[in-house]
Amino acid sequence: MSQSVFVIGLGNMGAALAKTLMATGNQVSVWNRTAAKAKPLVQAGAKHARTVADGVAHADIIVICVSNYDDTYAALTDCGDLRAKTVLQLTSGVPSEATAMEEWMARHGAAYIDGAIMAYPREVGTEKCMLLAAGSHASWQRAESIVRQLGKHSIYLGDKVTAPASLDIALLLPTLSALIGMIQGAAIVERAGMPVADYLEMTTPAFKDRLAEDLRRQAMAIVNDQFGETEASLAGWAAAITHHVEDQAGQGIKLPFARAICDILNSAVAAGYGDEELAAVIKVMR
């Protein structure tokens, strides 16, 4: 069903959202603080809202994707009448900001869905794009179609509006840790005088198969609260990586990420969990 959608924020992500919503047949109007960024979308058929209030007045649903929540309030300074409108906030933020924004929207009479985008701009609208969304069920019913056009595998997490932001960091951390770990490894490989391209050939299969399996095993240990059975003890991991880090530090290389991992593992060993599964480090994080 075609809807009248107003997109606020046309940075890398906002532009991808607007483009996708145009491709799925909606009547899309756009606004960006720096007006020039609207030009390609307007050339492709979007309506350029002269002001935020103008865009709000002519839309049923308002999609916001700016840098952060403070910038969202800045963009909404003169937003006109939000009553009976549905606002889909896709700007990244923290749980308390989602709660405050929901209250702000309620005071302004708008239905509100808070979301987190678990994808890159190029993936928006494809099978690879997942949005996490939360808000009242009535608001979800109004926003669902647009959310699913943006991310086919999107998940409605219920009425607790803080949920997407909590999951956002929980899902970003494993990805970022793997990527930074690979980058730290590349620095070590470079220093050892070996080709990073060869290292890449070795990391790709490891990420594809081993990492997924390891993530599941460690997560299940936490779910079941069973850390006793292990084929690779926490103390073993701690000793091996600490030995490597001490050696690499002697080569003059900077190891901030590897050192952080050593600290986490060694603190869990010091707390008495050395004989347990790696996931037992959660006990020093709680």
Least spacing, CB of residue 31 vs ligand NAP, in Å:
9
Contact pattern from residue 10 through residue 49 relative to ligand NAP, giving x for each residue in contact according to CB under 6 A and a dash for the rest:
xxxxx-----------------xxx--x------------
In what order do the strands lie in the sheet containing 155-156? Answer: 47-48, 27-31, 4-8, 61-64, 86-89, 111-117, 131-134, 155-156
Give yes or no for a contact between 164 and 114, defined as CB atoms under 8 angstroms apart.
yes
Taking the complex as a whole, the smallest distance from the CB of residue 165 to ligand NAP amounts, in Å, to 11
Out of 29, 92, 139, 248, name the contact with ligand NAP by CB under 6 A.
92
Nearest CA to 15 out of 37, 36, 35 is that of 37
| DSSP state string for 193-222 | T--HHHHHHHHHHIIIIIIHHHHHHHHHHH
Which one, 66 or 281, has the nearer CB to ligand NAP?
66
Q: Which stretch binds ligand NAP (CB under 6 A): 40-48, 64-72, 187-195, 268-276?
A: 64-72
Query: Which is nearer to ligand NAP, 28 or 255 (by Cβ)?
Result: 28
CB of 131 or CB of 261, closer to ligand NAP: 131
71 lines the binding site for ligand NAP (CB under 6 A): yes
By beta-carbon distance, which residue lies closest to ligand NAP? 11
Q: Are strands 111-117 and 131-134 parallel, antiparallel or unpaired?
A: antiparallel
Q: Does 173 bind ligand NAP (CB under 6 A)?
A: no
**CA 51, 54, 55, 60: dihedral to nearest 10 degrees?**
160
User: Residue written as tokens 């003169």?
Assistant: 78
In this structure, what token pair is assigned to residue 104? Answer: 């702000």
Tell me the Ramachandran region of residue 25: left when phi exceeds 0, alpha when psi lies from -120 to 50, beta otherwise.
left
Closest CA to 60 of 38, 82, 45, 32: 82
Return the residue of 120, 206, 243, 264 that touches ligand NAP, per CB under 6 A.
120
Question: Per CB under 6 A, which region of 66-74, 106-114, 137-145, 248-256 contacts ligand NAP?
Answer: 66-74
> Site residues (CB under 6 A) for ligand NAP?
9-14, 32-34, 37, 65-68, 71, 74-75, 91-92, 117, 120-121
